[in-house]
Homo-oligomer: A and B are copies of this chain.
């Protein structure tokens, strides 16, 4: 197969289909999503059989346990996929929303209408459920989609793709509105990110290595999600009960997620009174503490933190700890070391809370809440295509709105410019 020719065909078909999805009615899009869900439920056994073949090959090729885990579909996982499609059908349609209509002195009325981006390319790794999930979000936001999943999940992805096409057909939408790449040739990724005439935005989902490679080579915009080196700062005016509860949840509820706290800052004025209890809680839960000099004086078990530790997203039972002078040093430290994902201050002081909210340059900034809340569902977006650590276009959790843009509309009555 000539990949350049193949991707040219895929791109042309996606662009053509995007005109149909852009003007599709909400009813047609929801009909398609519900029909996809029904097909996936009906074909549960087919999907599991395809996945079993993928898994057999993966084991033969010696893939590691974590990869096998991400690749594995269960009957429960298939049901969750179908429910996910139904949930997206239930979300409000962002396309066509009109806002900010204002009358100008000339007589014209000017405002904005929300519109799809066009064609969205998604590049992801082993998880087959991303196929249904991404198809749903792209379609509901009026976009056509080109999906390129990991080669390990090819058979399951093709089985899901058949259900997606069936749903599109049932709603009278072009089956090319969602195309799942049928080859495992790695050259596809290189082509996808170099076709600005056919693909308007790329969303990579996967490890940092994948995302960095794609961002560096891309000739189209990329909504990307890199590190999550998140912080909790316990201010001198922190309520000790809230501080303990928030650090516990932020660090230990789940160790491997991007919104897990990796670094704890404590104001010097309350380090003596609050840090020992927080450290005890963490140590009791098996979390290793790597602290500054002052931390180590208060917490015997703490190891010495290096400069590198403060930059690190552990995704493991380790936390870095630093005693700081107060809110100024906390903000400066975070703006230097953080990956600009999510940070939280624990404080009862209004001015400290406001300064933290305004001056911390991260995609989510919180007061008296666990960093674990940084998530599209928790924020009420209903669904999430990813989390952006960029500032351009979309920042933080990206839902349906992040897959749209706004055009200007002008309502006149024969006005001309003088």
A interface residues (Cβ-Cβ under 8 A, vs B): 19, 22-23, 96, 102, 104, 106, 108, 110, 113, 115, 117-118, 200-201, 216, 219, 221, 239, 241-242, 245-246, 248-250, 253, 335, 344, 357-359, 361-370, 372-374, 378-380, 391-393, 395-397, 405-417
Contact indicator B365/A407 (Cβ below 8 Å): yes
Contact indicator B414/A246 (Cβ below 8 Å): yes
Contact indicator A370/B245 (Cβ below 8 Å): no
| Shortest Cβ distance from residue A162 to the other chain B in the assembled complex, whole angstroms | 30
| Shortest Cβ distance from residue A246 to the other chain B in the assembled complex, whole angstroms | 6
- Nearest chain B residue, comparing its CB with the CB of A357: B409
Partner of A393, one of B102, B344, B380, B393: B393
- Nearest chain B residue, comparing its CB with the CB of A250: B416
Residues on B with beta carbons closer than 8 Å to the beta carbon of A365? 113, 407-410
A409 with B22, Cβ < 8 A, contacts A246-B416, A369-B108, A414-B245 known: no
Partner of A221, one of B221, B245, B369: B221
Q: Give the most central of A201, A372, A397, A407: most B CB within 10 Å.
A: A407
- Nearest chain B residue, comparing its CB with the CB of A358: B96
Residues on B with beta carbons closer than 8 Å to the beta carbon of A239? 414
Chain A to chain B contacts (Cβ below 8 Å), 22 pairs = A19-B361, A22-B359, A104-B380, A108-B366, A113-B358, A221-B392, A246-B414, A248-B416, A249-B416, A249-B417, A357-B409, A363-B408, A364-B408, A365-B409, A365-B410, A366-B409, A366-B411, A366-B412, A368-B415, A372-B416, A393-B393, A397-B408
A118→B113 CA distance, assembly (Å): 27
A320→B106 CA distance, assembly (Å): 28
Residues on B with beta carbons closer than 8 Å to the beta carbon of A248? 416
Contact indicator B23/A358 (Cβ below 8 Å): yes
Contact indicator A393/B396 (Cβ below 8 Å): no
A374 with B405, Cβ < 8 A, contacts A102-B380, A241-B414 known: no
Contact indicator A359/B23 (Cβ below 8 Å): yes
| Shortest Cβ distance from residue A297 to the other chain B in the assembled complex, whole angstroms | 28
Contact indicator B413/A368 (Cβ below 8 Å): yes
Q: Which 8 pairs, one residue from A and one from B, show the smallest C-beta to C-beta distance?
A: A369-B412, A249-B416, A242-B414, A366-B410, A372-B417, A393-B393, A391-B405, A368-B412
Taking A249-B417, A365-B407, A374-B408 as known contacts, 19 extra A-B pairs with beta carbons closer than 8 A to each other, sorted by chain A number, are A106-B378, A108-B373, A110-B378, A115-B361, A216-B219, A239-B414, A248-B416, A249-B416, A362-B407, A365-B409, A366-B412, A367-B409, A367-B410, A369-B410, A369-B412, A391-B405, A392-B393, A395-B405, A395-B407
A409→B367 CA distance, assembly (Å): 8
A173→B131 CA distance, assembly (Å): 50
Q: Give the most central of A250, A405, A414: most B CB within 10 Å.
A: A414
A368→B413 CA distance, assembly (Å): 5
A397→B359 CA distance, assembly (Å): 29
| Shortest Cβ distance from residue A374 to the other chain B in the assembled complex, whole angstroms | 7
A393→B253 CA distance, assembly (Å): 35
- Nearest chain B residue, comparing its CB with the CB of A100: B380
Contact indicator B391/A117 (Cβ below 8 Å): yes
